[in-house]
Amino acid sequence: MTTYIIAADAARARILVHESKGLREIDTLVHPESQQHAGDLRTGGKGEQGGGGDTKSQHQTGNVEATADKHTSFFAKEVAEYLHDARTQGKADSFMIVAEPQFLGALRKQLDAATRECVIKEVDKDLSRASTQEIAEALDKP
């Protein structure tokens, strides 16, 4: 039986497996857009306001959090598809997820029912950049 451990935030998901010597990272998914400042995610056009004909005072308007949430959701869907593929291709039988709380919620929404049933443990903590030892310790806690 193979268990994948996923340590993730909205920009990065590390996929690890448990071996006799501890955890070993086997893959990393990244979503660079989630690492950018929300204002940098927009393109020109709608929502842009200017001061008449001069270009000195152009800025974006709109809901910055909506843009960040959209990218979180996109990445959660990508991670969910990765887990679905791992399950259906027989690479993993179960999953343990250690994720930043907001991302964990987004990921839960994206998991299909069969993959969701394979999740045997969740820890709502951002350890995406932690050592494998720190991740293992977080998973060992009840």
Question: CA-CA distance, 16 to 122, in Å (whole number)?
Answer: 14
- What fold does the segment set 3-35+62-140 form as a domain? Nucleotidyltransferase; domain 5 (3.30.420)
For 116, residues 6+ apart whose C-beta sits below 8 A from its C-beta are: 108
Crossing angle for the helix pair 101-110 and 64-88, to the nearest 10 degrees: 60
The arithmetic mean of pLDDT across residues 83-103, rounded, is 97
- pLDDT of 30 above 90: yes
Of all helices (H) and strands (E), which one includes residue 57? strand 54-60
Domain boundaries along the sequence of the chain: 3-35+62-140
Q: Quick one: pLDDT at residue 11?
A: 93
For 7-18, write each residue's pLDDT tens digit.
Answer: 999 999 999 998
pTM: 0.77
Q: How far is CA 34 from the centre of its chain?
A: 9
Average per-residue pLDDT in the chain? 83
Q: Give ∠ CA 128-131-134 in degrees, rounded to 5.
A: 90
For 95-133, write each residue's pLDDT tens digit.
Answer: 999 999 999 999 999 999 999 999 999 999 999 999 999
